[in-house]
Structure 1
């Protein structure tokens, strides 16, 4: 019993380790982008035609924000924004 439990635990650790590496590599592939004035930009995506991207930006910034870039592809709106200085 101990031997099979140990083997199971070892396989579980290997699987979790591989999953952790996959998650970290996905996160590290894109660094945050900064504007020339030092503000951090954020990307949100939502269905084209909805105002949820604007709502998300307003909520995140506590109000005012500047649109850095927006594009539409395959029915999805991608909005890159930066919060205005308070």
Structure 2
């Protein structure tokens, strides 16, 4: 009986550690809450290689067309674009 309990305890411990590892990994991937403009529109950040139009394509696809660039910057070959969809 004692042996079965130890095996159960080891499995439970492994399961708990695995769940903790998954939670930690997901926490590292989470994004910050969205920021809003003074007019109430939500902003979104996309990143793509500098010199490509991937960021604009992503923003246009997400907004279903027109969007406003709130801020953009380039660092180490990566373009960061913060945009807000235009009201329809």
Q: Is TM (by shorter chain) over 0.5?
A: yes
Unaligned runs of 5+ in 1: none
Correspondences of 1:21-60 after superposition (within 5 Å): 21-24=24-27, 27=30, 30-60=32-62
Quick one: distance in 2 between partners of 1:65 and 1:21?
34
Any idea what the Cα deviations from partners look like across 1:17-75, whole Å, max 9, x if unmatched?
243145236536x2210000000000000000111100000000000000000000000
Using the size of structure 2 for normalisation, the TM-score is 0.82
Quick one: distance in 2 between partners of 1:43 and 1:31?
11
Give the CA RMSD over aligned residues.
2.1
Structure with max Cα Rg: 2
Structure 1 residue ranges (4+ consecutive) displaced by more than 2 angstroms after TM superposition: 1-6, 21-28
